[in-house]
Chain A
Amino acid sequence: MRSFLVFLSSLLVFCGVACDCRALTVALLPFADISSDYNGVDLAATDTFHELLEIEGLTLIDGPVVRRFMAQYRLRRAGSLDSFTARKIGRELEADLVLIVTLCESGGVEKGRFGILVTALETVGGEVVWTSQQSSSLFEETALLGIGTPRDGSELKIRLMQTAARRTAQALPELELFAAAERGPFRLVDIEISPEYTQGLSTVECFLKIEALADMPEKVELSSEGGPIVLIPGKAAGEYHGSWTAPSKDGEYPVSLTLTSKTIAAPVHLQKFARYTVINKAPQLTIELKQGITLNEVAVFRDQLLITSSLQPSRPVSRWQFMVLLPDGTVQVKDEQDGDLPRDLLWRGCNSKRQRLQDGEYSLALTIWDAAGNQTRSEKKVSLRTECQPVEVKTVKKGDKNIVRLSTPEISLNGLGLTWKLHVYSPDGAPLLEQSGSMLPAEIELPAGIDVDFLLYSIDVQDLIGNTFSLAENRLYMPDSGLQVAGVEKWSEDF
């Protein structure tokens, strides 16, 4: 009897050593229910699934323990997990696997559509090792003669959860869990380099937040151009900060980190996790004006000007200023704002109080400050013209011919492309002449045999920027009449 007991105990010890029968421990996170809301959680379904997995033979960590862990580490999102947290769950809750479940579809009892997605992460490397998806609807489940068809949506939901639990329980023990390589003991949660763009020899500051699987690093060293800087721990655990002087040369400078701890064999290097840029020279700013006509490098416009700008090389802008100035430097419009420059600016020829400015010459000045604080400015001359150039109409004698002469006082504005249309009538209204053209001055011969002191004329004039004027039934005195030469008596804007 004694020898039998010794044999039995030896056999049990041998079996225990040979098959390493430690049950697989699984942490089940609360179900994410994205069927109605991005942040939805279904705790009732989580508890049901927990029971189903236990029935199938899996060892699970108690739900409240998992939820306490989530609350402690402020895990606010169900349905997704990062590898570091998976490893932390493995370490602190002694879990081999973490299950995250998403209810993709939950159409309710009436609609009867349901979808469940199970994902397993191992806790050594935090890798996703297995996933499974089940989805169905009452319509899909309709069998021949209705045998075995679920009665309603809730029965379908239970059935699918049972299937998911069975598949999970079958698949998990067969996974190769420890094939994944172990990752580092630290995780960089946040890093902020301020300013991201700076001028040479300015002070650059760094703030970073680190999480550790076990103990925090004893030394956090930041490496950049100009040598390493040891960062100072902040008030909260895992927070570090430090500052250094930026190099004088233009360029992009990457930042790397080295974390040292007595509990780890070798320092952990986090390469090129952030960068800052040194810029000493302002970019070249070019402004282009649209919806006007450029004459002798001056943009002439009537209603509005569309102002577009470009930077060469392209660079983030921290502030910009737009001004409209008179030739003597008096500011008519000033707009200054932080942030990037708008794609285009529109100026309607008004001052800051939205009052229409008088016709005349102005300067548009655009100034920008790039993200490093370098300033650049560009200016353009513009001319506001809301009235058409008057055209003088008179008659002259050339030999025995009577000529109508059209001319403008300002020769420089001929470039605005005035087009005109002239009608000449006899005093009783009979048409004598109809002529149009686009060149000024112009001379048109009147028909012979006119024996009156004056004629009547109408003229319509339009320039290229859209200003139009017209004169109707004005008197045109004949050269032989000795009466006064008709000038521009009255101009009326054509609305």
Chain B
Amino acid sequence: MLYNPEKAIFSNWGLRFFCLTLVFISICACSAPKRTITRVAGKNPELNICRVVLLPFVNESRSPQLSTQAYRIFFSEIVGSSLFRVEPEGDLQLFLYRNRIRPDTIWNRDLFVALAQQLEVDGVVIAYIRESNLVAGASGSRNAYVSLQVELHDARSGRLVLSSFLRRTGDDYTKVLHFGVVDTVSGLLQKMAKEIINEWREKGVSGCQ
């Protein structure tokens, strides 16, 4: 049988359609990533922060355990990034107990100064879980979404240094088909924490380095 170029692989319309679909999916998967909104407070903020403490996350979502979960994951990612040295969670809890600070306390300058003095920290991370729920993902599963606002304050003055806001769903990290999709809240929070820490590095926070 002679070779007929018209019947070659790429002249087959079905196969052409399949290839085009693959290319289309790949392009869709490589769409521009969502941005993290980070604002730097003032013209010359104090970016020379090495030792930080994370205050308990303020949970505005309906998932009661999410604040502890997000707190520990964010804590883990900061330690892993080596950007800051982090005061253990237990030390902060003791500070809150000793100073009779309730979870709903609005932090003023005096409290920041007491925290800086007693725990010997330079920075305070305050975070708010604005929203969290499950949404129908493109891949058919029910994906978690989380809205997170994280602020970095100078502990010595209480002044805001940086504030980042981002909202992500598990589908935001999909590569091709279902690959790359984040199906767990822990995994999603980990990726969000990494994004925020990278953003802070880009904004000039040098940490202990």
A contact set with B: CB distance below 8 Å: 34-38, 77, 79-86, 102, 104-105, 113-115, 117, 119, 121, 126-133, 135-137, 139-140, 142, 187-191, 271-273
Q: Is B186 an interface residue (CB 8 A)?
A: yes
- Please judge, given known A-B contacts A105-B69, A133-B73, A133-B190, whether A128 and B184 are in contact too, CB under 8 Å: no
12 extra A-B contacts, CB within 8 A, seeds A136-B183, A137-B184: A38-B65, A79-B72, A80-B93, A82-B94, A83-B90, A83-B91, A84-B91, A113-B184, A113-B185, A131-B79, A133-B76, A135-B186
Binary flags per residue of B65-76, CB closer than 8 Å to A gives 1, else 0: 100110011011
In angstroms, Cα B147 to Cα A22, docked, is: 47
Contact B184–A38 (Cβ < 8 Å): no
B interface list, Cβ under 8 A from A: 64-65, 68-69, 72-73, 75-77, 79-80, 85-91, 93-94, 97-98, 117-118, 139, 141, 178, 181-187, 190
Most chain B Cβ neighbours within 10 Å, of A37, A114, A117, A191: A117
Q: Which residues of A contact B183 (CB under 8 A)?
A: 113, 136-137, 139-140
Least distance between B189 CB and chain A CB atoms (Å): 8
Q: For B68, what are the chain A residues with a Cβ–Cβ distance below 8 Å?
A: 34, 38, 79
Contact at B69–A104, with CB atoms within 8 Å? Answer: yes
Shortest C-beta distance, A491 to chain B (Å), equals: 54
Q: Return chain A residues, CB-CB under 8 Å to B90.
A: 77, 80-83, 85
Docked pose: A103 CA to B77 CA in angstroms = 16
> Cα distance A130–B72 when bound, in Å?
13
- Check if B185 sits within 8 Å of A105, measured CB to CB: yes
What is the CA–CA distance of A313 and B139 in the complex, to the nearest angstrom?
A: 60
Residue of B nearest to A112 (CB): B183
Contact A131 B80 (CB under 8 A): yes
Complex: chain B residue closest to A126, CB-CB: B88
B-side contacts of A273, CB under 8 Å? 118
A189–B94 contact, CB under 8 A?
Answer: yes
Q: How close is B108's CB to chain A, nearest CB, in angstroms? A: 12
Inter-chain contacts of A117 with B (CB < 8 A): 72-73, 76, 186
Could you tell me the distance between the alpha carbons of A127 and B52 in the complex, rounded to whole angstroms? 12
Do B186 and A133 touch across chains, with their CB atoms under 8 A apart? yes
Q: Measured between alpha carbons, how far is A82 from B89 in the docked complex, in Å?
A: 6
**Complex partner residue of B86 from A79, A80, A128, CB under 8 angstroms:** A128
Contact B98 A189 (CB under 8 A): yes
29 contacts between A and B (CB under 8 A): A34-B65, A34-B68, A35-B65, A38-B65, A79-B68, A80-B72, A80-B90, A82-B90, A82-B93, A102-B72, A104-B69, A104-B185, A113-B183, A113-B184, A115-B185, A115-B187, A117-B73, A119-B79, A127-B85, A128-B75, A129-B79, A133-B76, A135-B184, A135-B186, A136-B183, A139-B178, A190-B97, A191-B98, A272-B117
Q: What's the minimum C-beta distance from B199 to chain A, rounded to whole angstroms? A: 19
Chain B min CB distance to A228 (Å):
20
Top 3 A-B pairs, shortest CB-CB distance: A82-B90, A115-B186, A135-B186
Q: A128 contacts which chain B residues (CB < 8 A)?
A: 75, 79, 86, 88
Dominant secondary structure at the A interface? strand
Report B-chain residues with C-beta under 8 Å of the C-beta of A105. 69, 184-186
Interface of chain B: mostly helix, strand, loop or mixed:
helix
A85 to B186, CA, bound (A): 27
Residues of B within 8 Å of A82, CB to CB, are 88-91, 93-94
A38, A127, A132, A135 interface centre (most CB from chain B within 10 Å): A135
Are B88's CB and A115's CB within 8 A?
no
How far, in angstroms, from A271 to B80 measured CA to CA in the complex? 32
Q: Give Cα distance in the complex from A44 to B86, angstroms.
A: 30
Q: B72, B98, B186: which contacts A190 (Cβ < 8 A)?
A: B98
Residues of B close to A135: CB separation below 8 A: 184, 186-187, 190
Enumerate chain B residues within 8 angstroms of A113, measured Cβ to Cβ. 183-185
CB <8 Å contact, B76 and A132: yes
Given contacts A80-B93, A81-B90, contact A114 B117 (CB under 8 A): no
List the B residue with the shortest CB-CB distance to A119: B76
Contacts of B184 in A (CB 8 A): 105, 113-115, 135-137, 140
Nearest A residue to B185 via CB reads A105
Residue on A nearest B189 in the bound complex, by CB: A104
- Tell me if B98 and A139 are in contact (CB < 8 A): no
Q: Which residues of A contact B117 (CB under 8 A)?
A: 271-272
Residues of B within 8 A of A34 (CB): 65, 68-69, 72
Return chain B residues, CB-CB under 8 Å to A129.
79
Is there contact, CB below 8 Å, between B181 and A139?
yes
Which of B72, B139, B141 is most buried by chain A, counting CB atoms within 10 A of its CB? B72
- Across the interface, name the chain B residue whose C-beta is closest to A82: B90
Residues of chain A within 8 A of B75, CB atoms compared:
119, 128, 131
Distance from A19 Cβ to chain B, minimum over Cβ atoms (Å): 28
Q: How many angstroms from the CA of A85 to the CA of B90 in the assembled complex?
A: 9
Residue of A nearest to B143 (CB): A139
**What B residues does A86 contact at CB under 8 A?**
88
Closest chain-B Cβ to A339's Cβ sits at a distance in Å of 15
Residues of B within 8 A of A104 (CB): 69, 72-73, 185-186
Chain A nearest CB, measured from B184 CB (Å)? 4
> Contacts of B69 on A, CB cut-off 8 Å?
34, 104-105
> Once the chains are docked, how many angstroms separate the CA of A202 from the CA of B73?
49
| A128 vs B92: C-alpha distance when bound (angstroms) | 13
For the complex, give the distance between the alpha carbons of A104 and B193 in Å: 15
Give chain A nearest CB distance to B95 CB in angstroms: 9
Chain B nearest CB, measured from A417 CB (Å): 43
Closest-by-CB residue of B relative to A180 is B85
Asked whether, in the complex, the Cβ of A140 is within 8 Å of the Cβ of B181, the reply is yes
**Bound state CA distance, A83 and B88, in angstroms?**
7
Asked if B79 contacts A130 (CB within 8 A), the reply is yes
A272 proximity list for chain B (CB < 8 A)? 117
Q: Which residue of B lies closest to A35 (CB)?
A: B65
The CA-CA distance from A139 to B170 in the complex, in Å, is: 12
A74 CB to nearest chain B CB (Å): 13
- CB atoms of B88 and A142 under 8 A apart: no
Asked whether, in the complex, the Cβ of B187 is within 8 Å of the Cβ of A140, the reply is yes
